[in-house]
Structure formats: structure tokens, C-alpha cells
Structure 1
Amino acid sequence: MSKRYDWDLIERLLHHVQNSVAIEDASETHAAELRALLLERGFIAAHTSGAGGSGEGATLTANGASLLAMIDSSIPGNDHPRQVLDEQADALDPATFDEVASKAQIA
């Protein structure tokens, strides 16, 4: 059985990290859990000391930027990559994501 993720929330989190904006909404707890997962799995990276801003001290990694490009709702046809990601046992597993993202028809 595949693990399903809230791609809309992940997209918002990645946009917020990209734009250095803190996320504030009713799903803050779930967002914090997803943010921790994205950090742990290398989709976002914590700033080193001295970095400022309100983006909770993180930046997108290359994989984070790739994931954002795949699931970005402003891009027509983003449903297909989300569907392919949902079909994986765990789409945010780094090795699984690298394999899926390397397929030209997905990325």
C-alpha cells in the first residue's frame, strides 16, 4: 500500500521555504510534521546560524526544487506527477523520489 501525502500542503510549505515566509494556518501541526519530514529527507535544508528571515530558517535543496516543480499547481498537467508520486510506496523516500524524478515524462 502506498503512503499518500497532502501535496497541496507540501506545495505550500515548499513555496513558503522558497520565499522565506513562515506558514501560519489551521493545519499548523500537520505542516510542522511535514516540514520536519521534508527536512529529514533532504527536500529542505536548515540555514546555518546567522541566517535571518521568517521562513523558519530553511531553504529548498535541489530535490526540494524538483519536487516543487513536479507538484506545482500553477503548472498545467501537475495531476499526472502527483498521481505517479501517489503510486509509490513512499514518494518522499529519497531513493524513490530520485528514481521517479529522473523519468523524463514525470519531471
Structure 2
Amino acid sequence: MSYNWDLIERLLLEVQDSSGKNFAPRVYAEELAGEKANQGETVGNVDSLKKEAGDLEGVLLQGGFIEPRPEELGGNGVNFILTERGMRLLDLLDSDGPDPQGARSQLDAKGEAALVPEVFDSLAA
């Protein structure tokens, strides 16, 4: 299995900007689908993408890529901050970066294990 890296990048970017607002992965997935459709890209089933976004929230939280935002940083119980690991993942996925496809290929080669903390940490080192 390969992760939807565009969706993960979008979720991580939204986490960065979630101070004071609820994190809404399904909404972000729907917005991403709309953007891709406007660019002429095939989107597939939007409901499946929305479900995947909800599932990815749990994967990112369990993998230590995101964590609940502390109250003193604008936390409201339903928003997050990027951890050090999450920032490294976002840097790798950065579609405006020097070689996002190369990094994504390396992550794809690890399959589902790509977001297992130990596997990711060794890959990102």
C-alpha cells in the first residue's frame, strides 16, 4: 500500500495553521479534491478520500507526527501542532521543494511502514 502523500502534505500544512480552529481532515480532503479537479487531475471517489483523511489523522497522531496543541499555543482540544517528526515529514513532502518525487518514492518503497516512527526516522536521517 502507498499513502496519498498529497493528502498527507495538505493535512500537515493545515495542522501548521490550526491555532484557534478545529482540525477538519475531511473538509481538507474535499478541498484538495476540488483543487485537483480544477487542475484537470483525476480525483476518484471524494467520499473515500474524506474517509482516508480521517484515518490519516489517527496515523499521524499515533506515529508522533502531530500532537494536541497546548492551550497556551491556541489549543482548543481539537487542533494539533507538528512535532519535530511531522516537520521532517512535511519537509520531505514539500511539493515546492527540490525533489518531492524522490522523497515520496523512498517513502512508497517502505509501504505502510513508511509512517512507523522507527522506519520513518531512519529514512529521514
> What range describes the TM-score normalised by the shorter chain of this pair?
0.7 to 0.9
Residue 49 of structure 1: how far off its partner (Å): 5.3
Cα distance in 2 for partners of 1:49, 1:42 equals: 19
Provide structure 2 residue ranges, at least 5 long, that are not aligned to the other structure.
31-45
Count of aligned pairs: 98
Q: How does 1:88-107 map to 2 (within 5 A)?
A: 88-89=110-111, 90-102=113-125
Cα distance in 1 for partners of 2:122, 2:99 equals: 20
Q: How does 1:1-107 map to 2 (within 5 A)?
A: 3-20=1-18, 22-23=23-24, 24=27, 25=30, 26=46, 27-48=49-70, 51-52=75-76, 56-89=78-111, 90-102=113-125
Residue 74 of structure 1: how far off its partner (Å): 1.4
Is 24-33 or 76-85 further displaced after alignment?
Answer: 24-33
Q: Which structure has the larger Rg over C-alpha atoms?
A: 2
Residue 94 of structure 1: how far off its partner (Å): 0.4
Residue 28 of structure 1: how far off its partner (Å): 2.5
1:29-77 Cα deviation digits (max 9, x unpaired): 2111001110011000012457239xx4100000000000001111132
Cα distance in 1 for partners of 2:66, 2:50 equals: 17
Provide structure 1 residue ranges, at least 5 long, that are not aligned to the other structure.
103-107
TM-score (ref. length: structure 1): 0.81
1:66-103 Cα deviation digits (max 9, x unpaired): 0000011111321000001111141001000010000x
TM-score (ref. length: structure 2): 0.70
Quote the RMSD (CA, aligned, Å).
Answer: 2.0
Letter in 1 for 2:5: W
SS in 2 for 1:91: helix
Structure that is richer in helix per residue: 2
Cα distance in 1 for partners of 2:50, 2:81 equals: 19
